Structure 1
Amino acid sequence: MLNLHALRLFYTVARKGSTTKAAQALNMSQPAISAQIRKFEKEQGIVLFQIEGRRLRLTPLGQCLLEPLEKLFRLEAQVLERMEEERNFPKGRLRIVGNYLATSLLIPRWAALFKQSRPEVEVHIATANSRTALERLVGFEADAAVYGLADLPLPADDELCWTELYRDEFWFVVAPGHKYAGREVALGDMLAEPFIMREEGSVTRDRLMRLCRERQLDPPRIELQFNDLSGTLHAVMAGYGTTFVSSLVAGGYVERGELARVHVADVRVANTIVLCTRRQSPPDPLVREFTAIAVRHKHSPGHGL
């Protein structure tokens, strides 16, 4: 029988890079960790670490064990999570994390429809940047993550699966009375306008700055900055400046004539919205039901914030 405790000690030392850091993480003494790993190596007739001066170096076997051990401890975390959920949420729990666009515009409708058929289930929704959302999913802190691929590529992880929901675009939009409303203009002319944007680190702002770098153009002047999309769009509707925003967000405003799109020549910035979950066998019925609702109701949600 494998000594899982010793394997965990080995894995932690390998990931932390030293027994000192592993001892701090595990709240154990450094000699105790070293002794248990040596004992395990002797029992199994293997060598996991080699000492080079004052540093530890993984042997080829030690290196090969890292990936399967990571999967093993993920499965262990899933087992513990399921037992904990049964104790604390006997009727079920669903944890959804998404970027700002997802939690402000997409997930609320899906969650409401889910609760109509599953009123007894606890539903928790959290907002995070896309990278953190994916990390929470991988770390068993969430059951589903919704984000845009313009922000973070699909993970190369065979333990995750994803469903494409939308083919979104980023648009330049202005007030209907703006001189560029409904017109096609050059990117340089558009960037000369005063911009109203969300804070640094937002997906749309980062993508706009990347576009400027790709075209070797000076970035626009950010004259007003908001921490939410609603404030940004209402400032533009008031008649000052322009913004760069998801078509899912702006579509409804444009349809109602509250905003107007500016068509910028030779610029098309796409964004695919995906719902990412862990691959499980059998699939979690709550996650499967929520995913089915998201797919079934993925018509254009652009009705404003």
Structure 2
Amino acid sequence: MNTRSLRVFAEVARTGSFSTAARNLGLTQPAVSFHIRSLEKEYGCVLVDRSLGRCRLTEPGQALLRHAQRILKVEEELSREMEGRRGEPSGTLLLAASNIPGEYILPRVLSRYRLRYPLVEPRLEVTDTRGVLDLVRAGEVDLGCVGSRDDEERLEYGRLCPDRLVFIAPGNHPLATRKRVKVDDLSGETLILREEGSGTRSHMLRILSELGLEISHLDCLVLGSTMAVIQAVAAGAGISVSSLWAVEPYARLGKVRVLALSGADLRRDFHYVILRRRPSTPAVEALVQVIEEMRPELEDELASFVGPPDRG
């Protein structure tokens, strides 16, 4: 079935941008424009209003989107059934992951996965934890990976690998010379936070609350990615909490220092999550098998990183 133009149209509607849709689909922007013009010519009406800078669907466009979503869902269900009958993992594997697992864990998992299952084409979207769970709930991805859980009956979780959150400071910060830091030492410091919806942010706020430090009493800077947070700390903008997976290269080079904070249990797990009612496929089951196989390796790697000892 040739539903390519409908898929392009649905992505333009979702992102509100021809250029973003092109990037997400691996197309050029002129190719996206061609698909939209083809649909408009076929149905004899304007589907996308481009006059206000951001693409907005016209009334006919909204009607087409409703039908397109149903058609694409049926096509996906048909593809899954046919894939299941073939037995060997193949087809497209739609994934979403929050920042740390999406940039530091899944790439190495998918590298081994692709060597073993070359007929599968994984597509990974990296967003925040809230966005990942929304995509899983909506059935728009086969599997998500997150750093914090939102327990509800329709979501099923499995353990991806361990993580350790660490407090970090600039390499030349006065706290960096101390063997152990107390929570009172953080008063008066600028705290660099991830944005709302980040799993790391929610863990960080929970830890600070358990230590008796209210965020309202701190000077805060909010940044939109883990890399931006670490770079800001290295530049002397403040202190923060981040994953040791991301911090490790900067700690080894001395650009940031990992602080040993008394009384804080900073361990957590990354999880993979699927929608319970979503039919499983050989491609998803094979990915879970690779994750299970690699978890001990990832545990050993994390244990070898620079950082203060666990105090759980």
Q: Which category describes the TM-score, using the shorter chain as reference length? A: 0.5 to 0.7
Structure 2 match to 1:165: 160
Q: Percent identity?
A: 22
Aligned partner of 1:175 in structure 2 is 170
- Asked if the contact 1:175–1:237 (Cα under 8 Å) also holds between the matched residues in 2, the reply is yes
1:288 corresponds to which letter in structure 2?
E
CA distance in 2, matches of 1:119, 1:195: 44
Instruction: Tell me the CA shift for residue 232 of structure 1.
Output: 1.7
Residue 194 of structure 1 corresponds to which residue in structure 2?
190
Indicate the residue corresponding to 1:33 in structure 2: none
2:240 to 226, 240, 243: 243
Deviation at 1:276, TM superposition (A): 1.9
TM-score normalised by the chain length of structure 1? 0.61
Contact 1:190–1:264, Cα closer than 8 Å, also in 2: no
1:226 to 223, 241, 244: 223
- What pairs with 1:1-305 in structure 2 (closer than 5 Å)? 81-84=76-79, 91-149=90-148, 152-157=149-154, 161-181=156-176, 182-219=178-215, 220-222=218-220, 224-278=221-275, 283-298=280-295, 299=298
- Which consecutive unaligned segments of at least 5 residues does structure 1 have? 1-26, 28-76
C-alpha contact (below 8 Å) 1:194/1:242 kept by paired residues: yes
Residue 167 of structure 1 and its aligned partner are, at CA, apart by 2.8
Q: Secondary structure at the match of 1:177?
A: coil
- Give the superposition deviation at 1:180: 1.4
Q: How does the TM-score come out when normalised to structure 2?
A: 0.60
Amino acid paired to 1:192? G
Inter-CA distance 203–261: structure 2 relative to 1 (3 Å threshold): same
Aligned-pair CA distance for 1:105 = 1.5
286-295 or 233-242, larger mean C-alpha shift? 233-242
Query: Which amino acid in 2 is paired with 1:106?
Result: I
Partner of 1:46: none
1:56 corresponds in structure 2 to none
CA RMSD of aligned residues (A): 3.4
Letter matched to residue 175 of structure 1: P
Q: CA deviation at 1:255?
A: 4.0
Shift of 1:266: 1.0
CA contact (8 A) 2:130 2:197 kept: no
1:187–1:267 Cα contact (<8 Å) kept: no
Check conservation: 1:78, 1:140, Cα contact below 8 A.
no
The one-letter amino acid of 1:119's match is P
Change (3 A) 1:205 1:132: closer
The alpha-carbon distance between structure 1 residues 282 and 216, as it changes in their structure 2 partners (threshold 3 A), is closer
- Paired residues, number: 223
